[in-house]
Amino acid sequence: MESKQLSLFQNNIELFETRGPLWSVRSEKRCSKGKISDTEKTVGIRLENEGRRGLQLEPDLSEEVSARLRLGSGNNGLLRRKMSILETKEKNCSSHGPQDEILNSAFKLRITRGDIQTLKNYHWLNDEVINFYMNLLVERNKKQGYLALYAFSTFFYPKLKSGCYQAVKRWTKGVSLFEQELILVPIHRKVHWSLVVTDLRKTCLKYLDSMGQKGHRICEILLQYLQDESKTKRNIDLNVLEWTHYHMKAHEIPQQLNGSDCGMFTCKYADYISRDKPIIFTQHQMPLFRKKMVWEILHQQLL
């Protein structure tokens, strides 16, 4: 019965689609608790200034979504029933019990109740949640009909940047990196999540940022890594003249409008790209995506 309800729920995700520009930020501690940080205050000032310049900012819709779910008629009532499945799971698993209790374990990762709580609205996702989700994408793409996919850990790029190739030389032991079609690299820039996608089919790197920031230097470092990896593991010189790197502009990919969803946008960029689909989700879907991701991580299965 639950699988049937989840199937119905999955088919109605589009009810949350909308349009508009968006933004995001996250703490160095990689989770959100308690008081508003200086970073959040800075983002608030930034958004206020954007508004003064005439940019129409779109508010977070969590309250509106909650209000709609309380309506018991028509499509809203149907949506309420579908979402209640995930809400119940989320409350039971994340609200009661020790923060360090392990709720799931796979991919050499352990997900605790505290990790799951970072998926509550307005919270910053931590490394464990993002790494677990990236592994779920890789597992899904092992199925026939999907692109060959590899995802690096969130700790890969900081290690590469600080220690160069020798520091991460063994990270791909047993992995034929150049037999993949797509390579995902989640990036943490002090207080912000973003994503680099290496497309080996098109010999290009793309930087996706839900705040519209540029990532030229990041792409250059990763391209140098590919050169070193190719020479070391295949004894083949990578022709960098055949490669391009490009940062996706704000009008090309969904952008966030709050200070908490950069991790979610990074995960959903990866989801859509790994399915070779147009990136068409929006900020309005984030509350739903968060509930959906709780279920996916706890059940180790993508919906």
Residue 262 known to be catalytic: yes
Q: Which helix (H) or strand (E) holds 106?
A: strand 102-106
Catalytic residue among 31, 93, 219, 262: 262
Measure the CA–CA gap between 85 and 10, rounded to whole angstroms.
12
Catalytic residue among 60, 115, 127, 209: 209
Measure the CA–CA gap between 263 and 130, rounded to whole angstroms.
7
Residue 96 known to be catalytic: no
| Phi-psi group of 55: left, alpha or beta (phi > 0 → left; psi -120 to 50 → alpha; rest → beta) | beta
Measure the CA–CA gap between 64 and 269, rounded to whole angstroms.
24
Catalytic residue among 123, 188, 192, 284: 192
Residues paired with residue 101 on neighbouring β-strands, in sequence order = none
Residues paired with residue 246 on neighbouring β-strands, in sequence order = 206
Total residues belonging to the chain? 303
Residue 267 known to be catalytic: no
The residues annotated as belonging to the active site are 192, 209, 262
